[in-house]
Amino acid sequence: MKHLLRLAVGGIALSALALAGQAAAADDMDALLKRIKLPPGFKINVFAKLPKPRSMVVGKPLNTVFVGSRHGTVHSLRDTNRDGVADEISLRGDDMNVPNGIAFQDGMLYVAETERVFMWGVPAEFDTALPLQPRVPVFEGMPAEFLHGWRYAGFGPDRKLYVSIGAPCNICDLKSMEGSIIRMDANGQNMEVVARGVRNSVGFDFHPKTGELFFTDNGADLMGDDIPPDELNRVTETGQHFGYPYLGGKSVKLTGWEDKTPPKGHQAPVIEFQAHSANLGIHFYTGRMFPAEYQGDAFVAQHGSWNRTSPVGYRIMRIRFDDKGLPTGKEVFADGWLQGDDASGRPVDIKSLPDGSLLVSDDYANVIYRISYGG
Amino acid sequence: MARRRVWLGFGLLAAALGSLQSGPAAGAEGDAFNGRLLFAQCRLCHSLKAGETKVGPSLHGLFGRRAGAVDGFDYSPGMKDAGIVWDEASLDAFLKRPKAVIPGTKMVYGGLGRAEDRADLIAYMKQALKK
């Protein structure tokens, strides 16, 4: 009798330890959130927990958030009771080929995998359990290489679908669509190259007044801790060249291309970021929640360095814009994911909810945060 | 009455042990699918093909090899004298923070802080190096 009791108590103790493990994970997230520094009046909470979330798009009219990843999955999230936390998190598919690009227009979800874009029509009777089937191919034939094969996608004010295509290497000559941003009609027709000489862009957005395309670009490796810088670029004409592989940043000649002349008329970045900070999602703020000074400014997610002597990034930057639609400077908006040499999270993409709060995905902490103001 | 108590005890024990089991320490295999993405970083400097030197030595034949043993590669003194044989455990320790394990290593890589990430990476490497 005593023996059995001891066994039962031991079992309870061990299961208490396991539950404590889960509670510890929740404590870790609370501790992480407390370390995030934001300007006065701003708050951050966890909107959703899901594995390795990357690019996001908010669909209309139900405000469902679709989330892509580099791990085969697309999820959808809904906050049905508007309490600032997603109450429905649904896996919509787990067999896609690096579905990092995700966009939405006219009731249709577009997913950019490595080699193709497909479209899924959102049914009128919306059901968050439905898998993304059938997947209607929209555009095929993008480069197949895995390296930098994680596309970014988004619709422009011209209602065309823009997709970024990274170079399949660190520093190399480019063939075909490699190292570019392309756009196409929503049905995949009339593809054209909008920007060339782009090493690896995993984020772009359109200025709310001028409609101009601004994109981030990740700088080359193996040239030390501080060069070349990461870039923010502005496209003023279709087909402009942005310097890669000849140059990184405004003027750093890349390894192996020092003696080669960059194309005439190539464009310099409008903003240079710290090398290796990994600038990904950029999002122009047009919501009504944040103070008026934020209107038309952009937020940029810095994923953080992976091969720098001491780490940098792991934060959200704010890029101020003037009323001509030109960037005037950069500053830190939110940080605290990096403490000393230890990182607890890595921001990836940024989008606004209709209430003007910001969603920020983090594929290291495996959460999507919501940043709100006031209230 | 007694029988019920036994099941309760064993049930709790089994459940608790099941939920405690995680990561390489418990013998669970890593996720090679995630490992492949993590390995994209390693590819910058390392080839998996025999004899192909990049910034770093080829990783062909890595498992079971002594550290600093690839012919012709100019290793740091620390790596040459490390006395390590590469296997899952030693790789796990090294990849957590390379310069802590081999001070003066030429490998410019901060490390993978998470045990699950290292397990995933090692699982992918085992798979990739089998060919």
pLDDT tens-digit profile of A214-239?
999 999 999 999 999 999 999 999 99
CATH ID of B30-128, from 1.10.760.10, 3.30.56.10, 1.20.1250.20, 3.40.1800.10: 1.10.760.10
Tokens for A254, please give them. Answer: 């890349």
> In chain B, what are the domain boundaries?
30-128
Mean pLDDT (chain B) is 84
Q: Is the pLDDT of residue B20 over 80?
A: no
**Residues A172-182: tens digit of each pLDDT:** 999 999 999 99
Give the helix ranges, DSSP H, for chain A.
2-35
- Are B111 and A342 in contact by the 8 Å Cβ rule? The answer is no
Quote the pLDDT of residue A60: 76
Quote the pLDDT of residue B3: 44
- Are A98 and A147 in contact by the 8 Å Cβ rule? The answer is no
Strands A192-196 and A240-241, by their bridges, are: parallel
Quote the pLDDT of residue B22: 37
Q: Which residue of B has its CA nearest to A14?
A: B16
Please report, rounded to a whole number, the percentage of residues in chain A having pLDDT higher than 90.
89
Q: Give the residue from B6, B108, B114, B124 with the most A CB atoms within 10 Å of its CB, the best one to mutate.
A: B108
**Residues A242-285: tens digit of each pLDDT:** 999 999 999 999 999 999 999 999 999 999 999 999 999 999 99
**Residues A314-328: tens digit of each pLDDT:** 999 999 999 999 999
Quote the pLDDT of residue B6: 41
Lowest mean pLDDT among A47-51, A325-329, B18-22: B18-22
Tokens for A191, please give them. Answer: 């593809």
Residue among A8, A309, A341 minimizing CB distance to B9: A8
DSSP bridge partners of A41: none
Q: Per-residue DSSP letters for A320-362?
A: EE-TTS-EEEEEEEEB-SEETTEES--EEEEEE-TTS-EEEEE
Per-position b or e across A110-149, b if 16+ CB within 10 A of its CB: bbbbbbbbbbbebeeeeebeeebeebeebbeebbeebbbb
- Amino acid identity at A46: V
Contact B40 A309 (CB under 8 A): no
* Mean pLDDT of the B103-120 span: 93
User: A88: number of CA atoms within 13 Å, CB side?
Assistant: 19
Q: Cα–Cα distance between B18 and A375 in angstroms, integer?
A: 43
Q: Is B3 on the interface with A (CB under 8 A)?
A: no
> In chain A, what are the domain boundaries?
41-373
Q: Cα–Cα distance between A42 and A33 in angstroms, integer?
A: 12
Q: Is the pLDDT of residue A81 over 80?
A: yes
Quote the pLDDT of residue A22: 66
Q: Is the pLDDT of residue B105 over 80?
A: yes
Residue among B12, B17, B108 minimizing CB distance to A307: B108
Going by the DSSP 8-state scheme, the letter that residue B93 receives in this structure is: H
User: Is CATH 2.120.10.30 correct for A41-373?
Assistant: yes
Residues of chain B contacting residue A15, judged by C-beta atoms under 8 Å apart:
12, 15-16, 19
Q: Cα–Cα distance between A312 and B22 in angstroms, integer?
A: 30
Lowest mean pLDDT among A230-244, A351-365, B21-35, B108-122: B21-35
Nearest chain B Cα distance for residue A375, angstroms: 37
Q: Supply φ then ψ for residue A277, to 5 degrees.
A: -75, -10
Q: Cα–Cα distance between B1 and B13 in angstroms, integer?
A: 19
Q: Give the residue from A2, A15, A305 with the most B CB atoms within 10 Å of its CB, the best one to mutate.
A: A15
Going by the DSSP 8-state scheme, the letter that residue A68 receives in this structure is: -
Contact B43 A147 (CB under 8 A): yes
How many CB atoms lie under 10 A from the CB of residue A59? Answer: 20
Quote the pLDDT of residue A9: 56
At residue B108 the predicted structure's pLDDT band, cuts being 50, 70 and 90, is confident
Beta strands in A122-179 (DSSP E): 136-140, 152-155, 161-165
- ipTM value, please give it: 0.88
Lowest mean pLDDT among A124-138, A240-254, B97-111: A124-138
Q: Cα–Cα distance between A289 and A269 in angstroms, integer?
A: 30
Nearest chain B Cα distance for residue A106, angstroms: 33
* Mean pLDDT of the A301-326 span: 97
Give CA B123 to chain center in angstroms: 7
Q: Is A21 on the interface with B (CB under 8 A)?
A: yes
